[in-house]
Chains A and B, each alone.
Chain A
Amino acid sequence: MDYAVETFQLSKMFETKEKGRKRVVKAVDHVNIKIGKGEFFGLLGPNGAGKTTLIKMLCTIILPDEGTAKINGYDIIKEPYKVRRSFGWFHGETGGRSLYWRLSAEDNLRFYAYLQNVPKDVAKRRIDALLEFFGLTEDRGKLVKEYSTGMKVRVMLARALLHNPPILFMDEPTIGLDTISAVETRKLLTALNAELGKTIIFTSHNMFEVEQLCQRVAIMRKGRIIVDAPPSQLREMLREIRSVEVEVREASDLQKVAEQLVAIPVVGKVLEIKNNAYGHVIRLQVDNEYEAIPEIAEKVQRLRVKVSAIRQSEPTFEDIFVKLASEEE
């Protein structure tokens, strides 16, 4: 099988100093992943898990200490320029810093088109189309420093697509975007994947997006891949996350109610407290929902809390992520 991304024991260590003493941190620890051509692949992990280091190594910006990787069949150490022609990289964590702020969006894109060997006439057509798609046509001549964060993010997205690479590294592509732009971006990434067969390596802290878009998800922790599976399989693996939702209509101190409920022996911890149309919802992890529900009902009655419903709830993708990412602590 042809792989878009293939890593072989890929490792990276960094030296840090703590109280004057040197310490070696394994940022990426013998990672082996294979991402097929045309796959929509999610890479998740808490901050500091090693996602960005891994992506930067694949983008040839950081040299590995051990192992290697192939991008579009090219070795990241031996053939960096061939690798660089093969991908588009969006790094959302920079918040628009990776643009020339004293150039316009159009000038930024034109400059980058030259660097990526896009012929002049093709570049012009693509720049026009991308600016129109991302709603920047009217502001195309304005200096980027006058743009909002969302507009800068859109220019960076346009830049990643400009040379039409087969592989896209999308590091938090919807960060800083308004809802409509985020929806449009997700739609575009889906279309690029489905219709043009682009391989997309996607990172996000928005679990809804990951679940909606990715065909396969890897979770990193402390530089290692701890899970690599389709979202549906992750759900299966997490059946043991049992939870109960308590819909509270009125309570003087919601936090206190939650604390009282956690004191029930069959209740684990508070997973989430959120608002909905009827009031507030407290989601609780439980050992057994059939035993927990009557006990919770009795407790809320004693506490004189007005409750409209107590029901079993499905674990969200976020619960799955939190559980897996913290499991190896």
Chain B
Amino acid sequence: METEKLVELLSEDVPHVKTPVHQIVASFIVRDFKVWWTYKFWLTLDISGILLFVATYYLFSLIASPQQIQEAGYVTGGYFTFALIGIAFQQYVFFAVQSINMSVRDEQWNGTMETVLSSATDFKTFLLGETTFFFIICSAFLFISFLAGWLLGATFCLNLASVLSAIVLSVLLIASHMAIGVLSAGVIMKTKQGNPLTWAFSWMTQLVSGVFYPLKILPWYLEWVGKIFPLTYSLDGIRLCLQGGQTLVSTAVLSDAVNLVLFTAIATPVALYVFKMGYDAARRDGSLGQY
């Protein structure tokens, strides 16, 4: 193409219209999917990992007593379904805490961070874009886990109202963990390191949020520690819906949902504030693009 033609094309008068947030977020999703798709080996490993996880807890369930599970109100499916829900939804914690950090780190590592953040897109839309794909992937993994579990004999107590209630709780789980992810990304922006902290957080939630066993079997002080984590309420509510057939109308599920809403309502502005602080601190010391 001739220089003159290109100059003529660029001289075209285009009215300034802000791209809708959903379109920008969609472009992040397409970008991340295309990048992710190029890592075929990782993709295979990720899916194999989920299947192995599910198979492991199936074997555990063969030796575990279902009594304590039923006492906690999760009447259908026994330990295998209990653990399946635990590990499937626990993935969100891993993705929220690890993947957002990895995503920010990758942008810094690849040298794309400065270019993206010097564009007209604000940092909140940037964060939404960076995180959305991971939650989509996580939901896909959740579906694969449930499918594999179902094939291995997991049973659920399903009706439309309980499934819809579980979906609402899942959305609240995502929202609350997105806030945690954004908060830790803000810390990483400034400190350039966060993995030990985020790993500790991931493991702590596994131990005290009722991923592998009902909270009731823990000593009282650990049960209280577990109540700090939103995963505890998410798992309890979702299990009550999918294993107990309860809905948001029941007091126990509603109480879990209210706790999650409260956590999200408090954590989201705090997380955005911490991220903004980290972002501005990185801009002040000139390290926005460095990891």
Contact = CB atoms under 8 A, between A and B. Distances in A.
Interface of A: 12, 14-15, 27, 53, 56, 59-63, 65, 81, 84-85, 89, 91, 94, 97-103, 107, 110-112, 114-119, 122, 125-126, 129-130, 132-133, 143, 159, 161, 163-164, 184, 187-188, 191-192, 195-196
Contact of B111 (A98, A107, A132, A161): A98
B119 A130 contact: no
Interface stretch (B31-39, B61-69, B199-207, B222-230): B31-39
A116 B126 CA distance: 12
A59 B11 contact: no
Contacts of A133: 1, 3, 6
Contacts of A107: 30-31, 34
B262 interface: no
On chain B, which size bracket covers the interface? 35 or more
Contact of A191 (B3, B39, B122, B284): B3
B246 to A, nearest CB: 42
Contacts of A15: 285
> Which DSSP category, helix, strand, loop or mixed, fits chain B's interface?
helix
Contacts, number: 127
B187 to A, nearest CB: 19
B118 interface: yes
B85 interface: no
A115 B26 CA distance: 11
Given A61-B283, A126-B9, A191-B3, A98 B119 contact: no
Interface string B1-19: 1011111011110101111
B286 A119 contact: no
B288 interface: yes
B110 A14 contact: no
B120 A84 contact: yes
B10 A161 contact: yes
Contact of A63 (B24, B27, B284): B284
B284 A103 contact: no
Given A61-B118, A81-B122, A119-B17, 4 more contacts: A60-B283, A119-B14, A188-B7, A192-B7
A301 B123 CA distance: 71
16 contacts: A14-B285, A56-B114, A59-B118, A60-B118, A91-B114, A98-B111, A98-B112, A100-B112, A112-B115, A115-B27, A115-B120, A122-B14, A129-B1, A133-B1, A133-B6, A188-B3
Contacts of B23: 114
A308 B261 CA distance: 88
A115 B12 contact: no
Contacts of B38: 102, 143
